[in-house]
């Protein structure tokens, strides 16, 4: 079974499906839509974030904890502020599309990656990891 994703657009639109093909450097993500089972190709430039989830329903009664220290450190701590005002906090995982040696500034992208992965601080979160698209980000704060 392929990974479940919830795709978020900057305008708030949500699309749920299973990953057919995804890469941090590709122009598109291919998914099989959950409702229709139809295969779709979506330009990542149009997206805000791709949430890799445990279930499409989530846990309606669960209140996700938003503090560091409740989970072993998995990478640099990150606080992401999207252009629409939403915030996300977690641990950076994998490569980032900017040169860490020059600081954590996303204004000058140093690779062909379209974004970066962040893992939630709460192990009980429905989100396993989130791929954050650079075009949707207003600011990123990193704490070592």
- Asked whether residue 74 carries a pLDDT value surpassing 80, the answer given is no
> Which pLDDT score, from 0 to 100, does residue 57 have?
86
Cα–Cα distance, 1 to 22 (Å, whole number): 15
DSSP label of 75: S
Would residue 61 count as lying in a domain?
Answer: no
Would residue 16 count as lying in a domain?
Answer: yes
Q: How many domains does the chain have?
A: 1
Cα–Cα distance, 126 to 112 (Å, whole number): 29
Could you tell me the sign of the dihedral formed by the alpha carbons of 93, 99, 100, 105, in that order?
negative
pLDDT confidence bin for 140, thresholds 50/70/90: confident
Enter the pTM of the model: 0.87
pLDDT confidence bin for 126, thresholds 50/70/90: very high
> Which pLDDT score, from 0 to 100, does residue 18 have?
97
- Gyration radius of the chain over CA positions: 15
Full residue range of the structural domain in which residue 45 is found: 4-56+66-143
Q: Which residues contact 13 (CB under 8 A, 6 or more apart)?
A: none
Q: Rounded to a whole number, what is the distance in angstroms from the first to the last CA of the chain?
A: 35
Q: What is the mean pLDDT of residues 71-83?
A: 81
DSSP label of 102: G
- Asked whether residue 86 carries a pLDDT value surpassing 70, the answer given is yes
């Amino acid at each position: 079974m392929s990974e479940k994703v919830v795709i978020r657009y900057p305008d708030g639109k949500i699309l749920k499906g299973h990953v057919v093909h995804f890469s941090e450097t590709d122009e598109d993500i291919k998914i099989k839509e959950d409702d229709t089972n139809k295969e779709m190709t979506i330009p990542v430039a149009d997206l805000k974030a791709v949430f890799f989830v445990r279930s499409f329903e989530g846990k309606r009664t669960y209140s996700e904890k938003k503090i560091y220290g409740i989970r072993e450190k998995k990478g640099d701590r990150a606080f992401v502020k999207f252009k629409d005002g939403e915030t996300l906090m977690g641990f950076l995982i994998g490569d980032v599309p900017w040169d860490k040696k020059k600081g954590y500034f996303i204004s000058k992208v140093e690779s062909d990656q379209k974004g970066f992965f962040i893992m939630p601080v709460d192990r009980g979160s429905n989100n396993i990891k989130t791929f954050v698209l650079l075009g949707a980000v207003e600011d990123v704060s990193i704490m070592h």
